[in-house]
Structure 1
Amino acid sequence: MPATEYNPFARRESHSNQSIWVYKTLTVLSWLLVFITSIYYTFHTPDWHGHRHERHSVWDVNRARVTPFSLNSLICSLYWLFLYITQVGYVWTLFSSNADNVAAAAGVGSHFIFNNLLQFAFIMLFVRGHFVWAEIVTIINFFNLSSLYFRHNTVSRIIHIPVTSGPLAWTFVALYWNGAIMVGSDALAARIIANIAIWGILVYGAFFLIAFKDYTMGFALSVLSAALGVGQFFTKAFALQWIFAFTIMAILFILTLLVAIPGVFGKELSFRGSHPVGEDQERAPLLNDS
C-alpha cells in the first residue's frame, strides 16, 4: 500500500465516503474547539495552579507586555470574527450536495484541522505566559499553512480566504507579535531591529501580490498592518514604528487594488468565486496574467 494512504496531507484525486465523514467530523470539532477557546480567553483569565502574574487573557497580555509589535485588539478581534464567519462557509461547503465542492473542501481539510489544533495550542500557551513554546507552535503552523498555500493555491475564494490566506497572514504577523513578547525587550536596540524587521510584512505581502496576484493576502496583511499601526500609535506616539506600519498598510492596500480592480472591469482572473476547481485549474497559477 503506498505511503500516501497514511499521509493525511497528501494530495488525492478522490476521497472515500468514509474519509469525507471523518473530515466533516474533525473539521467541525476542531473549529468549535478553537472558536470557543479564543472567545473564552479573549475575556477570561486561565484558571489553573501557577503564578498569577503569568496568567492573562489574550489582550491583557498584549497590554501588559508592550513591544514594538503590540497590536490593536479591536482591529484584530474584528479580523478574527470575519475569519470565523467565513470559516463557517467553508465548513458548510463540506456538507454541500455538489461533489466537486466537497472534494475541493476535503482536499485542504487536513491542513485546516491541523491549523485549528495549533491555534488552540497557541492560545493555551500564550495566555499562560509560555511564549517560547507559543512561538514554536506558531512556526510549525506557519510551515503548515505555507505548505497548504503552495500546494492548493487554485481553490475557490470561499475556501481560500478562510482556510489559507486569512490564517496564513495572521500567522506571519503573529510570529512578530509573539516573538517580540518572547524576547521581552523594549530597549533602543530592540526598537531599531523592530524598525527594520517590520518591512518584512511588506516584502511578504508584495511577494503574493506579484507572484500569485493574490489580493486576498494583500488585503489581509494591510488590515493587520493597520492593527499594528494603531497599536503602536497608542503605545508610543513619538516613534517610527507606527509610521512604518501605516506606510506598509498604504502600500499593500494600493498594490492590492491594482491587482483586484482589473477583475472588476472584466479582466478574467483564475479565482472563480465559489465555483469548484477543475483539473485544469489545479495546474494553473492562482491568478492569470492575461
Structure 2
Amino acid sequence: MDRLRNANPFSKRETHSRESIITYKVLTILTWLLSVAVTVYYVFFQPETIVVDPKHHHEPQPIWYQNRTWQTGFTLNKIITSLYWLGLFLFQIAYIGHLFSSNADHVNAACAVGSHFIVNNLLHVGWVLLFSRGHFVWSEVLLILNFFNLSSLYFRHNTYPRAIHTPVVSGPLAWTFVAIYWNGAIIVHSPDSLVARIFANVFVWSFLAYGAFFIIIYKDYTMGFNLSVLSAALGVGQFLHHAIAFQWIFAFTIMAVLFILTLIIAVPAWTGRDIPFARSADAERAPLLADD
C-alpha cells in the first residue's frame, strides 16, 4: 500500500523528495506556459475565417468568435472574462514562486497541489483547442473532468495560504464551474426557444448557491469574489445581447449578493476580527486566514 501511495501523484503527503520537487518545477512551468500561450493565441491572434455553416465547420476560430456566434442564456462578456483569465494567470506566477522558495513549508505546500494544477493546465489547453474548433461536446467533457479534478483538490487541500489557494484552487474551480454552463448551453443552442430561456433563468441561480456554499461553510471569500466577477461577466454579456430579459437582472443580483457575502467574510479576516456566523470548530477548515 505504501508503494502504491508513493507512486500516486495525487496522494496527500507532507514532504516531497528532491527529485519530485524538480519534476513539479519543470512540469508546472511547462504546462503553465502552454496554457497561457494557447489561451492568448486563441483570444487575440487566431484570425477569423468566413463560416457559412458554423454547425459543420471545425476550422479553429477565436474563443470570442464562438461566444459571439453561439448566443445563449450563458453568453459571457469577453472583456471581463479575459481580464479574469489575465488576473488568474498573473496570480499563478506567485504560486510558481512558492516552488522555488527557500522555505521548505512553502515548497511542500506548492508540491502538494502540483499534480492537480498540472492536470488543470492540460485540460484547459484541451478545452481551448476543442472549443475553438466547435467540438463543444468533447470540450464539455474536458470541463467536467477538470471540475472533478479541481473539486477533489479543493476538498483535500483547502487550508493553504491565499497565494496558493486563489490561483490554483478557487480561481480555476470558479471558472470551470461557470464554463460548464457556458459550454453546455452552446451544445443545446436554441436562442428562440422559450424553454431554453426558462432553463437558463433557473440554472443561473446555481451560481449563487455554489458560491454561498463555499462562503458560509468554508469561509472562503475568494470563491465568492471569483464567482461575483464571473456573474458580472454573465450580466454584461446578457445585457448587451438582449436588454429586455430576466437573465442579466438575475446575474447582476447574484453578483451583488455574492459580493456582499464576500465582504462580510473578507473584512473581518483582513482585520483579524471574528468572522460572522463562524463556529470555533470551523477555524481549522477556513483556508484563507493566513497569508504566509
TM-score, structure 2 length as denominator?
A: 0.90
Give a deviation string over 1:145-200, Cα, whole Å, max 9, x none.
00000000000000000000000000000010000011111211100001000000
Q: Are the structure 2 counterparts of residues 63 and 257 from structure 1 closer, same or farther at C-alpha, using a change threshold of 3 Å? A: same
8 A contact 1:46–1:128 mirrored in 2: no
The residue correspondences of 1:173-188 to structure 2 (distance < 5 A) are 173-186=178-191, 187-188=193-194
Equivalent residue for 2:99? 94
CA separation of 1:288 and 1:253: change in aligned 2, threshold 3 A: closer
Residue range with higher mean Cα deviation, 1-10 or 86-95: 1-10
- The equivalent residue for 1:4 is 5
Deviation, 1:267, is 1.3
1:200 and 2:206 aligned: yes
Structure 2: how far apart are the matches of 1:242 and 1:80? 21
Tell me what 1:261 maps to.
Answer: 267
Q: Contact 2:227–2:258 (CA<8 Å) still a contact in 1?
A: yes
CA shift at 1:45, angstroms? 3.4
8 Å Cα contact 1:228-1:242 kept in structure 2:
yes
Q: Work out which of the residue numbers 208, 223, 228 in structure 1 matches 2:229.
A: 223
Work out which of the residue numbers 111, 128, 134 in structure 1 matches 2:133. Answer: 128
Name the residue aligned to 2:162: 157
1:247 pairs with 2:253: yes
**Map of 1:235 onto structure 2:** 241
Checking the alignment, whether the CA contact within 8 Å between 1:34 and 1:117 is kept in structure 2 is yes
CA contact (8 A) 1:45 1:127 kept: no
**Displacement of 1:55:** 3.3
**Maintained 8 Å contact 1:68/1:194:** yes
Counterpart for residue 33 of structure 1: 34
Aligned to 1:272: none
1:147 equivalent in alignment to 2:148? no
Instruction: Say if 2:147 and 2:177, in contact at 8 Å, map to a contact too.
Output: yes
**8 A contact 1:198–1:245 mirrored in 2:** yes
Contact 2:160 2:288 in 1 (8 A): no
C-alpha distance in structure 2 between counterparts of 1:287 and 1:40, whole Å: 34
Is there any run of 5+ residues in structure 2 with no aligned partner, and where?
Answer: 276-282
The amino acid of 1:263's aligned partner reads: A
Listed as ranges, the gaps of 5+ residues in structure 1 are 270-282
For residues 129 and 118 of structure 1, what CA distance do their matches in structure 2 show? 16
Summarize the Cα distance change of 1:28–1:288 in structure 2 as closer, same or farther, 3 Å threshold.
Answer: closer
- The CA RMSD measured in Å over matched residues stands at 2.0
Give the whole-Å Cα distance in 2 for the aligned partners of 1:237 and 1:213. 35
TM-score computed with the length of structure 1 as normaliser: 0.91
Report what 2:23 is aligned to: 22
Deviation (angstroms), 1:265: 3.2
Distance 1:90 1:81 in 2: 15
Q: Residues 70 and 246 of structure 1: is their aligned pair in 2 closer, same or farther, counting only changes over 3 Å?
A: same
Cα deviation per residue 1:16-49 (whole Å; 9 max; x = unaligned)?
000000000000000000100000000233799x
Structure 1 equivalent of residue 65 of structure 2: 60
- Give how far 1:123 is off: 0.2
CA gap 1:99/1:53 in 2 versus in 1, 3 angstroms: closer
SS of 1:56's equivalent in the other structure is coil
Q: Percent identity?
A: 59
* Matches of 1:47 and 1:259, distance apart in 2: 44
Cα deviation code 1:64-115 (max 9, x no counterpart): 1100000000000111110010101101110111111000000000000000
